Amino acid sequence: TVSPVCSHIKGQNNSGFFNGSRTVVLCEQVQIKAEVFLALGIVSLLENILVVWAVAKNKNLHSPMYLFLCSLAVADMLVSFSNSLETVVIALLHSRLLRVGDRFIQLIDNVCDSMICISLMASMCSLLAIAVDRYVTIFYALRYHSIVTVRRALSAIATIWLVCMVCGIVFIVHSESKTVIVCLIAMFFVMLALMATLYIHMFLLARLHMQRIAALPPAIVGDNRAAAANAVPAPRQRSCMKGAVTITILLGVFVCCWAPFFLHLILLLACPLHPPCKCYMSHFTTYLVLIMCNSIIDPVIYAFRSLEMRKTFKEILCCFSPSCLAPL
C-alpha cells in the first residue's frame, strides 16, 4: 500500500550504516511487509543452494567459470540471509517476543550491514573474475587451460572472500566515517568500468572476426573457416561467446538491481538534508527488495543459459527419479 508517512531513512529499522541521518521527511512511501522480505530471502536461499549443489554434483560443471558462479551464488545467499535475519529480528521486536537492549539491536544491525558489504564486494569481485575468465578464454584460447586452472580459480575465490570479509568488518567498524561510503561507491564504479572494458573488447573482436569472414569471397571463406577451426574449434568458440553473453546479462541485472542502492549512498553524501534526496532515501527498503530480487534472478539466468545446469537442476529437483529425467 502507498500512503504518506513520516519515517526515518531506513523505514522499519532506524539505525544502520547505510541509512543516513535520523532526519524525518514527509513523502509517499511504499510500505513493504516483513513477509515479502522473508519470502524473497527463502526463495533466494533455496535457489542459490541449488546452484552450489548442482556444480558440486555434476563433474561437467567443475570448471573455473562455474566455480566463480558458485562464488556469486554464495554472495547472493549471504545478502538474502542478512535481509531475512534483520526482518525476523525486527518482527520479533515489534511483536515483543524478543526483548533485548539497544546494544544488542545495534550489534545485529552492524552484523547485517557487514554481511551486505561482504556480499556486495564478493559479487562484484566474482563478476570481475568471470569476466577475466571469459576474456582469457577468447583471447588466449590455446593457452586457457594452462593459464586458468581449477586450483588457481579456487585460490582466487579464497582470496576474494578473505579480502571481502576483512573489508566488510573494517567498513562497519569505521561506519561513522564518510570515507567508507566513498570507498564503496568508488569500488562499484571502478569494477563496472573494468568489466565494461573487457566485455566491449570481447564483443568488438567477435564483430571484427565476423566482418572479416563476411568480406571474403566464398572460396576463401571456406579455407578461412577451416584454418580457424584448426586454431580454435567452432563449438568451443561459440561456447565461449555464449558464456560471455551470459555473464553480460548477469552484469546488467546486477547493475539494475544495485544501482538504486548506490544512488541512495551518493545522495547520502551529496544532499542528505535536501527534501527530494530525503524522500528518495526514505525508500531504502525498496532498494533492499531489488537487491534480493537480483539474488533470485541470477539462478534463473544460469538455468536459462546453460543446458548442463538445467539438466542437473532437474535431476536434483526430481530426486533422481527415472521418470523425471526425460530430455529437456
The gap from C-alpha 45 to its chain's centroid, in whole angstroms, comes to 13
DSSP per-residue letters across 173-222: HTTTSHHHHHHHHHHHHHHHHHHHHHHHHHHHHHHHHHHHHHHS-HHHHH
Query: What are the boundaries of each domain within the chain?
Result: 2-324
The gap from C-alpha 300 to its chain's centroid, in whole angstroms, comes to 13
The torsion defined by the Cα of 149, 66, 294 and 122, in degrees rounded to 10, comes to -30
pLDDT at 33: 80
pLDDT tens figures, 140-169: 878 888 888 999 999 999 999 999 999 888
* Phi, psi of 27, rounded to the nearest 5 degrees: -165, 170
Nearest alpha-carbon partner for 179 in 170, 190, 192? 170
pLDDT at 68: 92
pLDDT at 154: 94
Nearest alpha-carbon partner for 192 in 255, 117, 119, 263? 255
- Binned at pLDDT 50, 70 and 90, residue 2 comes out as very low
The runs of H, that is alpha helices, within 95-149 are 102-139, 144-147
Residue 36 scores a pLDDT above 80: yes
Evaluate whether 272 touches 23 at the Cβ level (below 8 Å): yes
* Phi, psi of 2, rounded to the nearest 5 degrees: -110, 125
pLDDT at 219: 53
pLDDT at 327: 52
Bigger pLDDT: 125 vs 30 = 125
pLDDT tens figures, 233-286: 555 555 666 666 777 788 888 889 889 989 998 998 888 888 888 888 888 888
pLDDT tens figures, 163-172: 999 988 888 8
- Binned at pLDDT 50, 70 and 90, residue 11 comes out as very low
H helix or E strand, kind and range, residue 3? strand 2-7
Residue 260 corresponds to which cell in the numbers above? 538504486
DSSP per-residue letters across 22-78: ---EEEEEEPPPHHHHHHHHHHHHHHHHHHHHHHHH-GGG-SHHHHHHHHHHHHHHH
Least confident window among 30-34, 78-82, 137-141: 30-34
CATH architecture of 2-324: Up-down Bundle (1.20)
pLDDT at 1: 31
